[in-house]
A and B are shown apart, each in its own frame.
Chain A
Amino acid sequence: MSAKPAPIYADNAATSFPKPREVIDTVSSVLGSMSLSPGRSAHQYSLECSRLIFDTREALADFFNCPDSSRIAFTCNVTEALNVGIFGLLGRVLHPGDHVITTALEHNSVMRPLRYLEKTSGISISILPVSGDGEVMVSELPRLMRDNTRLIVANHVSNVTGAVADIEAIGRNKGNAVFMVDAAQSAGVFPIDVVSMNIDMLAFTGHKSLLGPTGSGGFYLRQGLSLRPLKMGGTGSNSETEIQPDFMPDCHEAGTPNTLGIAGLGAGVGFVNRTGLAAIREHEQRLCRLFLESVGQIKEILVFGPAADRERAAVISLRVKGKSESEVAQSLDRDFHIMVRAGLHCAPGAHRTMGTFADGTVRFSFGFFNTEADVTACLTALEIISKN
């Protein structure tokens, strides 16, 4: 009887796995050595926790070239960060009748808050379309801009197709609007510089390519811009007043934070820095090209999104003719121990542009710890599934 083959994880766009050793060690040693409650008490455990959080904040500020680390606030994921950003602008930057531009590749963490505001606050929305090769048509931006365009929200890398949006070009043409970037899939793989890209708010998560634990994430907010906090409460600062502090980062960090996750995220950023963004990207792009070139030879398979020679992330959506997406994903998992994701990937708009709504696609997403052997095993499995 042959041994069960080692499982292959190809769902890194959902959450990266495995994590670097130092992330696991950091989380474990922090959990075992201190109380995890920062900025509340004056004892040494509390101070140590505060230092861990401070160090991660500083590391992220360096990583995204934020001029001031106090402009980074932690949240439990990118969804929370985007919600703070979109709802927090209401009444400050966004008013009834104002206009917002976003892209056809947005995740529901952007589209649901925007659609809610459209319905409840009289905000109008225009959508940047996607070209035939699956990329956001930034050239359409000037045509969509209006005098009352107050906000532009753009997904940096699509979690459905791996398409990369030209964030720099959007930043150059944003006019007076606030430019918010969803870096869920890009942070840790593609370079992000909030200054040169003219980004006003950058939302990121810790558990994908920054290689940290789930429950960690945050945002950068440009100096001079303020958001209404989504939650209020204890911050460990200004305790004598019952009014929420108005300064970053405290104004957006009420309640005891996920110290464990933030410490692990710090270790993840450390790993990315030491490995080098270019080396990580190169490895993932090599896996992506290998996969795309070979999967194109299987005639029963239809691949969506940018071609192999475009700059793209290792996130690949496909369909197998005559088989449902869930059937393919289930067979990959059960028969081949390959973990992928099937469906709409919380981005119905992206599937509408590709014509894959409402069935969705099977999504393979490779990470830094995948190997060429993993990709070959995925291709072999797909070949067998598509012929049966």
Chain B
Amino acid sequence: MSHGPGDNQQKLITMWSPIQQTPTCVVILFSIHFVLKAEKFLKRNGISHDVIPVPREISSDCGMAVEFSCLEKERVLELLASADLRIAGLYRRDGKNSFKPISAEQITANVVN
């Protein structure tokens, strides 16, 4: 199976997702199963997101993470909680390779509110 240059061009355009235009959050889950479970719930609720490799700056784990617009943070956390998905970590992307952790208190406060 081979991809022509046109295909690659198309992929680059598709991967340049609009959610990267606004500040994004990255949620870390316990394994790929939970990442895909999260993806299923986000898709079902029409929330734009990317499944990305866990950024090296966050963890040396070789797994995947979910990135979404910070504008959707509350909804995402609510959805994950409703699906009983435990969060291993939540970060705000400050720059291309810079991430700031969002504390557990803030996560809980967001879900409760």
Chain A residues near B (Cβ < 8 Å): 32-33, 38-42, 47, 50-51, 54, 57-58, 68-70, 235-240, 245, 247, 249-250
Known contacts A33-B1, A42-B52, A247-B30; A50 and B60 CB within 8 A of each other:
no
- Least CB separation from A223: chain B residue: B84
State how many residues of chain B have any CB contact under 8 Å with chain A: 19
Please, how many angstroms separate the alpha-carbon atoms of A47 and B62 in the complex?
Answer: 12
The 30 listed contacts between A and B (C-beta, < 8 Å) are A32-B1, A39-B32, A40-B62, A41-B62, A42-B52, A47-B51, A50-B36, A51-B36, A54-B33, A54-B36, A54-B37, A57-B33, A58-B40, A69-B33, A70-B33, A70-B34, A70-B37, A236-B31, A236-B32, A236-B62, A236-B63, A237-B30, A237-B61, A237-B63, A240-B59, A240-B60, A240-B61, A245-B30, A247-B31, A250-B33
Those 10 A-B pairs whose CB atoms lie nearest each other, nearest first: A42-B53, A237-B31, A54-B36, A39-B32, A50-B32, A239-B62, A250-B31, A240-B60, A239-B61, A70-B33
Chain A residues closer than 8 Å to B59, beta-carbon distance: 240
Which residues of B in the span 73-107 have a Cβ within 8 Å of any Cβ on A?
Answer: 84
Q: Is B64 an interface residue (CB 8 A)?
A: yes
How many A-B residue pairs lie within 8 Å, measured between CB atoms?
59
The distance from the CB of B75 to the nearest CB of chain A, in whole angstroms, is 22
B84 to chain A, nearest CB (A): 7
Q: Which of B52, B61, B62, B64 gathers the greatest number of chain A CB atoms within 10 Å?
A: B62
B99 to A: closest C-beta gap in Å: 16
Q: What chain A residues lie within 8 Å of B51 (beta carbons)?
A: 47
Q: Convert B20-52 into 0s and 1s, putting 1 for each residue whose CB lies closer than 8 angstroms to a CB of A.
A: 000000000011111011001000000000011
Partner among B32, B37, B53, B60 whose Cβ is within 8 Å of the Cβ of A69? B37
If A41-B62, A42-B52, A42-B53 touch, whether A237 touches B84 (CB-CB below 8 Å) is no
Residues of B within 8 A of A245 (CB): 30-31
Question: A236 — which chain B residues lie within 8 A by C-beta?
Answer: 31-32, 62-63
Residue of A nearest to B35 (CB): A50
Q: Which residues of chain A come closer than 8 Å to B62, judged between CB atoms?
A: 40-42, 236, 239
| Complex contacts, A58 vs chain B, CB 8 Å | 40
In the complex formed, the residue of A with least CB distance to B83 is A68
- Report the bound CA distance from A68 to B30 in whole Å: 15
B84: which A residues are within 8 A, CB to CB? 68
Given A42-B64, A249-B31, 18 more pairs with CB closer than 8 A: A38-B32, A39-B32, A47-B51, A50-B32, A54-B33, A69-B37, A70-B34, A236-B31, A237-B30, A237-B61, A238-B31, A238-B61, A239-B60, A239-B61, A239-B62, A240-B61, A245-B30, A250-B31
Residues of A within 8 A of B37 (CB): 54, 69-70
Across-interface contacts of B34 in A (CB, < 8 A): 70
Q: Which residues of chain B are near A69, meaning CB under 8 Å?
A: 33, 37
Query: A57: nearest residue on chain B (CB-CB)?
Result: B33
One of A39, A51, A54, A70 near B63 (C-beta < 8 A): A39
> How near does chain A come to B8, taking the closest CB pair, in angstroms?
12
| Cα-based distance from A245 to B59 in the complex (angstroms) | 16
Q: Is B32 a contact of A237 with CB atoms below 8 Å?
A: yes
Give Cα A54–Cα B31 distance, bound, in whole angstroms.
Answer: 11
